């Protein structure tokens, strides 16, 4: 094969992925709109679209004509053309979801895990969940398995380092163990990054500089900076829960004193816990010039109004808050599936060849 042949083939793949992404993000587009959005010529679009329809990836939907003239045809992703699996491996439970090609949850299964469970038990629990969800479907249509797990971990190799609060977990090759167990391609990421990815995946248009704050058995943030997930050079950015609020405060399981996480978890009421979280988040806004904060995780789900109000109050009190430093504060609408959905979306993003940030270099625009 010639060099140019390789490049042309690569270009073709790239163009197919670009068209699918544009259609997915818009929720459906006509051929004309597709050419406008993708920057490809109408000729190129009309050449590639029939291939995507023949491959079963796109549906043609007939829309009512506007006034006189031909009825309009809209191209939409066929949701059932492919599936993705996503899992959250938490410190006390595992949840696995099956999503369609648009990332909508088709089925979900959850199992409790005992405190301090060893790696083999976590792998077995995810494996059982995968078996259950794949029972009635064609496995060749499943693109792979994404896993959001407790860090620190290396996203590039799928190796979990010394997971906080989990002494049995030390340099565990989680990705390879799950590939061996399930037979699927596996992507492993921090639970916080998966949660952030779940929110970015839904966005059509520019993403503001965002911290998705996951308040669960631990506290961490996933960072969307420059429109992309920022993982950092060792893929462990976002350890916000272990920043110091009180240098002579109580000892945290991480070894330090007075971390946001330990103070939050020892707080006497949800109001106090949320207030401490807000004080820490005001610092994070200052460091990263954040435009948006999204609160997620089980503690927030248990008391969403308390968290939203207390964090908003702290941001207003702690930040200089001139007219140019407004922060949009939201409670995540993705509910308890947020990490598993994001992990599945990471698998889908590989299929759509959407850009993901895997290193520490500044995001390319």
Q: In the complex, which residues of this chain contact Zn ion (CB under 5 A)?
A: 242, 252, 254, 256, 259
Greatest CA separation for the chain: 75
Nearer residue to Zn ion within complex by CB, 130 or 215 = 215
Nearer residue to Zn ion within complex by CB, 151 or 227 = 151
Distance of closest approach, residue 260 Cβ to Zn ion, in angstroms: 8
Nearer residue to Zn ion within complex by CB, 243 or 356 = 243
Is the bond into 152 cis (omega within 30 degrees of 0)?
yes
Instruction: Could you list the beta-strand ranges (E) of the chain.
Output: 58-63, 72-77, 83-89, 93-100, 105-112, 142-149, 153-154, 159-160, 186-190, 210-215, 219-225, 228-230, 292-296, 328-331
Distance of closest approach, residue 147 Cβ to Zn ion, in angstroms: 24
Distance of closest approach, residue 219 Cβ to Zn ion, in angstroms: 9
Distance of closest approach, residue 163 Cβ to Zn ion, in angstroms: 13
Buried residues in 140-170 as b, exposed as e (16+ CB within 10 A): eebbbbbbbbbbebbbeebbbeebbebeebe
Return the structure tokens found at 206: 């520019």
Distance of closest approach, residue 262 Cβ to Zn ion, in angstroms: 6
State the CB neighbour count (10 A cutoff) for residue 47. 13
Residue 23 in contact with residue 58, Cβ under 8 Å? Answer: yes
Distance of closest approach, residue 252 Cβ to Zn ion, in angstroms: 3
Nearer residue to Zn ion within complex by CB, 187 or 260 = 260
Alpha-helix residue ranges (DSSP H) falling in 151-250: 174-182, 191-201
Nearer residue to Zn ion within complex by CB, 109 or 244 = 244
Distance of closest approach, residue 256 Cβ to Zn ion, in angstroms: 5
- Residues 201 and 155: their CA atoms lie apart, in Å, by 18
- Residues 365 and 76: their CA atoms lie apart, in Å, by 26
Nearer residue to Zn ion within complex by CB, 81 or 254 = 254
Residue 28's closest CA among 54, 49, 55? 49
Return the structure tokens found at 48: 């590639």
Nearer residue to Zn ion within complex by CB, 100 or 191 = 191
Distance of closest approach, residue 332 Cβ to Zn ion, in angstroms: 23
Nearer residue to Zn ion within complex by CB, 208 or 250 = 250
Return the structure tokens found at 98: 């099956």
Nearer residue to Zn ion within complex by CB, 26 or 254 = 254
The DSSP-derived string for 307-351 is HHHHHHHHHHHHS---TT---EEEE-SSGGGHHHHHHHHHHHHHH
Residue 305 in contact with residue 164, Cβ under 8 Å? Answer: no
- Residues 342 and 195: their CA atoms lie apart, in Å, by 5
Distance of closest approach, residue 232 Cβ to Zn ion, in angstroms: 18
Which residues are paired to 86 by β-bridges?
Answer: 97, 146
Residue 4's φ and ψ, nearest 5 degrees, are: -65, -30
Distance of closest approach, residue 238 Cβ to Zn ion, in angstroms: 14
């Amino acid at each position: 094969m010639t060099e140019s042949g390789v490049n042309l083939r690569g270009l073709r793949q790239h163009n197919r992925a670009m068209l699918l992404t544009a259609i997915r993000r818009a929720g459906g587009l006509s051929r004309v709109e597709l050419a406008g959005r993708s920057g490809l010529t109408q000729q190129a679009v009309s050449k590639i679209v029939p291939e995507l329809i023949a491959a079963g990836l796109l549906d043609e939907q007939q829309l009512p004509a506007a006034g006189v003239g031909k009825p309009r045809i809209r191209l939409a992703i066929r949701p059932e053309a492919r599936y993705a699996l996503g899992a959250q491996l938490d410190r006390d439970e595992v949840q696995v979801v099956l999503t369609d090609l648009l990332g909508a949850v088709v089925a979900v299964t959850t199992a409790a895990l005992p405190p301090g469970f060893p790696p083999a038990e976590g792998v077995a629990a995810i494996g059982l969940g995968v078996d259950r969800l794949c029972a009635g479907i064609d496995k060749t249509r499943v693109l792979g398995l994404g896993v959001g797990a407790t860090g620190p971990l290396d996203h590039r190799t799928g190796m979990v380092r010394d997971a906080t609060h989990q002494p049995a977990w030390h340099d565990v090759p989680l990705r390879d163990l799950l590939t061996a167990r399930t037979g699927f391609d596996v992507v492993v990421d921090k639970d916080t990054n998966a949660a952030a990815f779940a929110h970015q995946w839904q966005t059509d248009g520019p993403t503001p500089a965002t911290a998705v704050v996951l308040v669960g058995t631990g506290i961490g943030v996933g960072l969307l900076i420059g429109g992309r997930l920022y993982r950092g050079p060792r893929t462990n950015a976002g350890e916000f829960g272990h920043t110091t609020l009180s240098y002579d405060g109580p000892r945290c399981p991480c070894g330090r004193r007075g971390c946001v996480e330990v103070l939050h978890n020892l707080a006497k009421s949800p109001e106090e816990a949320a207030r401490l979280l807000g004080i820490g988040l005001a610092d994070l806004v200052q460091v990263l010039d954040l435009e948006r904060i999204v609160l997620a995780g089980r503690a927030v789900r248990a008391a969403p109004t308390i968290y939203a109000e207390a964090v908003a109050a702290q941001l207003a009190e702690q930040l200089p808050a001139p007219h140019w430093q407004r922060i949009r504060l939201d409670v995540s609408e993705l509910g308890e599936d947020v990490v598993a959905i994001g992990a599945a979306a990471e698998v889908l993003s590989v299929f759509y060849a959407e850009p993901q940030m895997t290193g520490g270099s500044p995001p390319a625009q």
